[in-house]
Chains A and B, each alone.
Chain A
Amino acid sequence: MSIDHNTVKKIATLAKIRLTPEEVQSYGQELQQILKWIEQLQEAKIPNGVLPDPSMKTELQRRSDQVTDGGNTDKVLLNAPEKAYDFFCVPKVVE
Chain B
Amino acid sequence: MTESLVNLTLVQALDGLKKKSFSSVELTHAYLANMQQKRNLNAYISETPDKALAMAKQSDQRRVKDMVGLLEGVPVAIKDLFCTEGVKTTAASRILENFIPTYESTITQNIWKNGAVLLGKTNLDEFAMGSSNITSHFGPVISPWKHGSDRNKKLVPGGSSGGSAAAVSARLAVAATGTDTGGSIRQPAAFVGIVGLKPTYGLCSRWGIVAFASSLDQAGPMARTVGDTALMLQAMAGYDPQDSTSVNTQVPDYFAALKNYSLRGLKIGIPKEYVVPGMAPEIEKLWQQGMNWLKSAGAEIQEVQLPHTKYALPTYYIIAPAEASSNLARYDGVRYGLRIPAQTLDDMYELTRAAGFGREVKRRILIGTYVLSAGYYDAYYVKAQKLRALILQDFQEAYKKVDVILTPTAPTQAFGLGEKMSDPISMYLNDVFTVPVNLAGLPAISVPVGLSSDKLPLGLQLIGKPFGETTLLQVAHQLEKNASLKNDPDLGE
A26-71 residues at the B interface, CB under 8 angstroms: 27, 30-31, 33-35, 37-38, 40-42, 44, 46, 50-56, 60-63
Chain A residues positioned under 8 Å from B215 (CB to CB)? 53, 55-56
Q: Give Cα A42–Cα B343 distance, bound, in whole angstroms.
A: 44
Bin chain B's interface residue count: 35 or more
Chain A residues positioned under 8 Å from B345 (CB to CB)? 90-91, 93
Q: How far is the CB of A3 from chain B (nearest CB, A)?
A: 8
Given A17-B357, A79-B335, is A30 in contact with B244 using a C-beta cutoff of 8 Å? no
Contact A51 B389 (CB under 8 A): yes
Partner of A38, one of B314, B366, B423: B314
Partner of B370, one of A11, A13, A76, A81: A11
Partner of B366, one of A8, A50, A62, A80: A8
Given A46-B383, A62-B244, is A33 in contact with B390 using a C-beta cutoff of 8 Å? no
- B380 and chain A: residue at smallest CB distance: A38
Q: Give Cα A35–Cα B245 distance, bound, in whole angstroms.
A: 31
Q: How many residue pairs bridge A and B at CB < 8 Å? A: 149
Q: Give Cα A50–Cα B314 distance, bound, in whole angstroms.
A: 18
Contact B342 A12 (CB under 8 A): no
Chain A residues positioned under 8 Å from B382 (CB to CB)? 52
Q: Is B155 an interface residue (CB 8 A)?
A: no
Q: How far is the CB of B460 from chain A (nearest CB, A)?
A: 27
B349-401 residues at the A interface, CB under 8 angstroms: 349-351, 353-354, 357, 362-363, 365-367, 369-370, 373, 379-380, 382-390, 392
Partner of A41, one of B335, B337, B347, B387: B387
Chain B residues positioned under 8 Å from A42 (CB to CB)? 379, 383
Q: Is B278 an interface residue (CB 8 A)?
A: no
Q: How far is the CB of B329 from chain A (nearest CB, A)?
A: 8
Interface centre among B339, B345, B366, B441 (most CB of A within 10 A): B366
Contact A34 B425 (CB under 8 A): yes
Q: Give Cα A27–Cα B361 distance, bound, in whole angstroms.
A: 12
Contact A34 B317 (CB under 8 A): yes
Q: Is A84 an interface residue (CB 8 A)?
A: no
Contact A60 B245 (CB under 8 A): yes
Given A46-B383, A55-B441, A61-B244, is A80 in contact with B336 using a C-beta cutoff of 8 Å? yes
**Told that A31-B367, A81-B337, A91-B345 touch, could you supply 6 new A-B pairs with CB distance under 8 A?**
A11-B373, A17-B353, A44-B308, A51-B389, A52-B382, A79-B98
Enumerate the 8 nearest inter-chain pairs by beta-carbon distance, A residue then B residue, closest first.
A52-B385, A79-B336, A81-B339, A18-B350, A75-B102, A18-B354, A60-B244, A15-B369
29 A-B contact pairs sorted by A residue (CB < 8 Å):
A7-B370, A15-B369, A16-B329, A17-B354, A17-B366, A18-B353, A31-B363, A31-B366, A31-B370, A34-B425, A35-B370, A38-B318, A40-B310, A41-B314, A41-B315, A41-B380, A50-B386, A50-B390, A52-B388, A53-B389, A61-B241, A61-B244, A61-B246, A79-B335, A81-B337, A81-B339, A90-B334, A90-B345, A91-B343
